[in-house]
Amino acid sequence: MVTALTIAGSDSGGGAGIQADIKTFEALGVFGTSALTAITAQNTRGVRAVEILSPSMVSAQILAVIEDIGAGAIKTGMLGTHDVVETVAATLRDWPAIPLVVDPVMVAKSRDRLLSDDAVQGLVRHLLPLAAVVTPNGPEAEVLTGHPVRTPADARDAARRLHDMGPAAVIVKGGHLETPDVVDVLFDGTDFHEVRGPRHATRHTHGTGCTFAAAIAAHLALGHSLPDAFRRSRAYLDGAIRHAPGIGHGAGPVAHFWNRAI
């Protein structure tokens, strides 16, 4: 059985974080395991409270899973603090053969902050150099590079700058770009790959970043190349948005099992 590990926070509303990752893994035929970094009290309207777990507990979860079950790929999401970022990086350095997908979660869909300023620097210094791919959206790429990301040309420039920080590849997601369609950009250090898709007139997009990164991790665990995982994950996410269940009074979740008869 192919497995993948997610290291992220819990979303009590079920649309993002650990819950979205596990659902995505399962939808794509991968057994999901998890290391919880934080507990959030949130729904589709916003985040009400956050508690970060101790770095030692986060590390203990990671080791418990990898040493027994293993992982075909690892995905990180909400890490919260510099200490957790540093501990996760230190733990994962012992497993360099497992592809790591870093989703640099900084702000929730509700605009609530999920990563401290010093943790951003820790992410750049300790975690990005370990990544097989890092998957920021436009605003996250702006924070990480210090340069505006508004157009596909900006996204390509940001991808180059982020690649210089150490990850093997970078995907800058296009949901926030000022373009009629959504343009996602992959840079593998040599070549650029782009996937274009329609924008959907919906408020139900909570957890899209988590879902996309988890899908990439699942496809890498299944043995797909990164460009193929990129295309497959974008198609999966597009379907999940189109089939969103429409629950909640704010930014609702996507439909993680839209591609399966259940």
**Which of 173, 174, 211, 252 is the catalytic position?**
173
**Which of 13, 208, 211, 252 is the catalytic position?**
208
Residue 176: count of CB within 10 angstroms of its CB: 17
pLDDT digits (tens, 9 = 90+) for 155-207: 999 999 999 999 999 999 988 887 888 899 999 999 999 998 888 888 999 99
Nearest Cα residue to 22 out of 37, 7, 1:
7
Q: How many helices (H) and strands (E) does the chain have?
A: 8, 9
**Which of 6, 44, 205, 211 is the catalytic position?**
205
pLDDT digits (tens, 9 = 90+) for 19-36: 999 999 999 999 999 999
Is 207 labeled as catalytic in the residue annotation? yes
**Which of 37, 209, 211, 252 is the catalytic position?**
209
Is 205 labeled as catalytic in the residue annotation? yes
- Biggest distance spanned by C-alpha atoms of the chain: 47
pLDDT, mean over the chain: 93
Task: Scan for tokens 């959206």, then name that residue.
Answer: 137
Is 250 labeled as catalytic in the residue annotation? no
Is 9 labeled as catalytic in the residue annotation? no
User: Residue 110: is its pLDDT beyond 70?
Assistant: no
CA 68 vs CA 33, 71, 161, 162: distances in Å:
11, 9, 37, 33
User: Residue 262: is its pLDDT beyond 50?
Assistant: no
109 — pLDDT class (breaks 50, 70, 90): low
- Domains of the chain are 3-242 (3.40.1190.20)
Specify the pTM. Answer: 0.95
3-class secondary-structure state, position 96: coil
pLDDT digits (tens, 9 = 90+) for 212-224: 999 999 999 999 9
Is 209 labeled as catalytic in the residue annotation? yes
Phi first, then psi: give them for residue 252, nearest 5 degrees: -80, 170
